[in-house]
């Protein structure tokens, strides 16, 4: 498993990362997936305090145990569960960021985080105060680096140049090419992109026909447009899953692509697809079959 530098930081993360959101709340099942990921050379695990009311962090922490020091561990903050846990609200206040980080550390069974990410963001947030909170946590050694999970260009323009953030988590795939417009800007600030949604809810896997039957649309694609695009791609490329990974990893601004797995079989499929990535170098059919779009909001 190849690794890439995360922005201008000292962290080098695997090109394929494990997303925690899809992990089972059954510790044994989750352990099988995490163990397989580590054996394959995956060293970056992404979770959030929002997932399963914090249980996701707890399970990951328990499974990693003493192996935690060999892992680049990332979690997120900002979405705060209501008291009855029937929903959540946005809270990016410095006090909550500092309160939440220690709760995450306890659940993860560690005394530091490698990457702490703001789980969203709005133009109304007090960005100077947010950045100061992250910098304070970094200075005290509670976190090594910080970043943001957002697809809002106006938020990224406010946050990145004013901070020392090293990661931006964004949805990006050959069926959602909106972030491409912003790759150079993000890289110029010393940050790298970590992608989510790389396989587009399974549409960019070998089970695409099955997934398409249950899908009316994806982003601006209608079902008919999806069928046309995916048919064209599978005519040219042998493995749609491998193409999806290769398409993202061809970008120097992208450090890693986060892939979730709810079963060992799903992770095995991703790992098998990754083995074919290096052989995919011609993306001309992708450029003809897919849409190059731009964000219409939050500019």
For the segment 30-53, what is each residue's pLDDT rounded down to a tens digit? 999 999 999 999 999 999 998 887
Q: What sign results for the dihedral spanned by CA atoms 84, 85, 91, 93?
A: positive
pLDDT at residue 84 is higher than 80 = no
Q: What residues pair up with 79 in beta bridges, in sequence order?
A: 90
Confidence (pLDDT) at 164: 98
Q: What residues pair up with 18 in beta bridges, in sequence order?
A: 45, 259
Homologous superfamily (CATH) of 3-199+251-263 is NADP-dependent oxidoreductase domain (3.20.20.100)
Question: Where are the chain's structural domains?
Answer: 3-199+251-263
CB 118 within 8 A of CB 143: no
How confident is residue 104, by pLDDT bands cut at 50, 70 and 90?
Answer: very high
Picking from 204, 278, 270, the residue whose alpha carbon sits closest to that of residue 234 is 204
Picking from 231, 212, 210, 246, the residue whose alpha carbon sits closest to that of residue 290 is 231
Q: Which range has the worst mean pLDDT, 54-68, 71-85, 218-232?
A: 71-85
CB 169 within 8 A of CB 254: no
- 295 given a catalytic annotation: no
Confidence (pLDDT) at 95: 95
Confidence (pLDDT) at 276: 98
User: How does the average pLDDT of the chain come out, rounded?
Assistant: 95
- What does the alpha-carbon distance between residue 146 and residue 131 come to, in Å, rounded to a whole number? 9
pLDDT at residue 260 is higher than 90 = yes
Q: Which member of 44, 51, 146, 274 is catalytic?
A: 51
Confidence (pLDDT) at 172: 98
Element (H, E) at 249: helix 240-249
């Amino acid at each position: 498993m190849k690794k890439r530098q995360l922005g201008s930081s000292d962290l080098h993360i695997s090109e394929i990362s494990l997303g925690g959101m899809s992990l089972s709340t059954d510790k044994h099942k989750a352990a099988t997936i995490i163990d397989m990921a580590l054996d394959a050379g995956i060293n970056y695990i992404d979770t959030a305090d929002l997932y399963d009311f914090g249980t996701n962090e707890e399970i990951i922490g328990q499974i990693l145990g003493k192996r935690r020091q060999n892992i680049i561990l990332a979690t997120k903050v900002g979405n705060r569960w209501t008291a009855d846990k029937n929903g959540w609200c946005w809270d990016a206040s410095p006090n909550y960021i500092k309160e939440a980080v220690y709760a995450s550390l306890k659940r993860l069974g560690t005394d530091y985080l490698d990457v702490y990410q703001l789980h969203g963001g709005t133009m109304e947030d007090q960005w100077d105060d947010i950045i100061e909170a992250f910098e304070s946590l970094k200075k005290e050694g509670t976190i090594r680096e910080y970043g943001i999970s957002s697809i809002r260009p106006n938020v990224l323009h406010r946050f990145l140049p004013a901070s020392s953030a090293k990661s931006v988590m964004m949805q990006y795939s050959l069926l959602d090419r909106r972030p491409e417009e912003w790759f150079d800007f993000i890289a110029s600030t010393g940050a790298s992109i970590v992608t989510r949604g790389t396989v587009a809810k399974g549409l960019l896997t070998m089970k695409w026909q099955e997934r398409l039957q249950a899908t009316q649309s994806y982003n601006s694609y209608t079902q008919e447009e999806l069928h046309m695009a995916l048919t064209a791609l599978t005519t040219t490329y042998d493995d749609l899953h491998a193409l999806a990974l290769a398409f993202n990893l061809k970008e120097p601004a992208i450090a890693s692509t986060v892939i979730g797995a709810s079963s060992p079989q799903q992770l095995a499929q991703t790992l098998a697809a990754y083995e074919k990535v290096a052989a995919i170098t011609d993306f001309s059919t992708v450029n003809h079959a897919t849409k190059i779009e731009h964000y219409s909001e939050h500019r």
